[in-house]
Structure 1
Amino acid sequence: MDAYGHVNNVVHLRYLEEARIDFMFRLAGEAADASPTDPAPFKAGCVVARHEIDYLRPLFHRYEPVTVDIWVTKLNAASATLAYEIKDAATVYVRAETVIVPYDLEKEHPRRLTPGERAFLEDYFDDSAAAPRIR
């Protein structure tokens, strides 16, 4: 927390990272187990190309948990945009977006989404006006 008792801005990034890792590795891995055509989505590598964060309300240190909702708002051949909200039952504290790029770690070069990665991300796609947005 910072000097005012707020959750520090870097900690918010950590919350987003933890949600993204859970989404892209655990959840995508479970989906791959059910469809073995692309058995290890995102394990070949993926990097963050951009973060955008709007801090809407201060989140004070407390013992009650917050949730991080995550969904996909944009899909390209070689990138995807993930959107998030950090919130509790009554308040949205943060809205954020991250652009991720599949990356070949051995060749140190961006790559295209595999069919399995794209299929997984499409299941969480929502670019509707009703979806929470960065404003």
Structure 2
Amino acid sequence: MTDRFVYDAAVRWSDMDAYGHVNNARFLTLYEEARVAMFFLGARAQGLTSFEDGIVISRHEIDYLRPVDYGEDVRIELWISELRAASFTVAYELFDDGVLASRARSVCVPFNLAEQFPRRLTAAERDFLKPYQES
């Protein structure tokens, strides 16, 4: 079974739309918080800091399965659904009170921010991602 990175995200009052549900665009913010936790905090805990030098997103896709209301934190589970030489795809599931509320995917590209060009994944980065890779 694939390891999943798990992140609990707070739903803020500012995330709400006029109907009292999390606004569709704010789901991207919640997914971003989880992704940043994985690639900054999770990777740093394993001695890897190169993701902090730059990752850009080349694609997002989201499926909204049910509304999420203001209240309890939501749980986001992340894993790697595709691993390529110069990109990888992060898959997510967002659970509200234990019920699956949304699925998403982000295609991430390692990027040299200082010189403004995409780069290949390093061996250390691939090693970090492999336990999370979908089999």
Number of equivalenced pairs: 120
Distance in 2 (alpha carbons) for counterparts of 1:46 and 1:2: 29
CA deviation digits over 1:40-79, x for unaligned, max 9?
Answer: 2302211111100000001122x22210000001000000
What secondary structure, in the 3-state scheme, does the structure 2 residue paired with 1:42 have? helix
Measure the CA separation in 2 of the matches of 1:89 and 1:100.
Answer: 28
Where structure 1 has 5 or more consecutive residues not aligned to the other structure, the ranges are 33-38, 128-135
Structure 2 Cα separation of the partners of residues 40 and 65 of structure 1: 28
**Are residue 111 (structure 1) and residue 126 (structure 2) matched?**
no
Which residue of structure 2 lines up, in the alignment, with residue 84 of structure 1?
Answer: 92
- TM-score (norm: length of structure 2): 0.84
C-alpha distance in structure 1 between counterparts of 2:96 and 2:53, whole Å: 34
1:21-42 per-position Cα deviation (integer Å, ceiling 9, x unaligned)? 000010011112xxxxxx4230
Q: Work out the CA distance in 2 between the residues paired with 1:119 and 1:41.
A: 13
SS of the residue 2:41 aligns to: helix
Residue of structure 1 in register with 2:42 after alignment = 27
The aligned counterpart of 1:18 is: 33
Q: Which has the higher strand share?
A: 2
- The equivalent of 2:9 in structure 1 is none
Residue 120 of structure 1: SS of its match in structure 2?
A: helix
RMSD: 1.2
- What's the CA shift for 1:89? 4.4
Higher relative contact order (CA 8 A, sep 6+): 2
TM-score normalised by structure 1 residue count: 0.84
- Distance (Å, rounded) in 2 between the aligned partners of 1:96 and 1:21: 15
CA positional deviation for 1:88 = 3.1
Q: Distance in 1 between matches of 2:68 and 2:45?
A: 32
| Residue 96 (structure 1) aligns with | 104
Task: Return the offset for 1:123.
Answer: 1.4
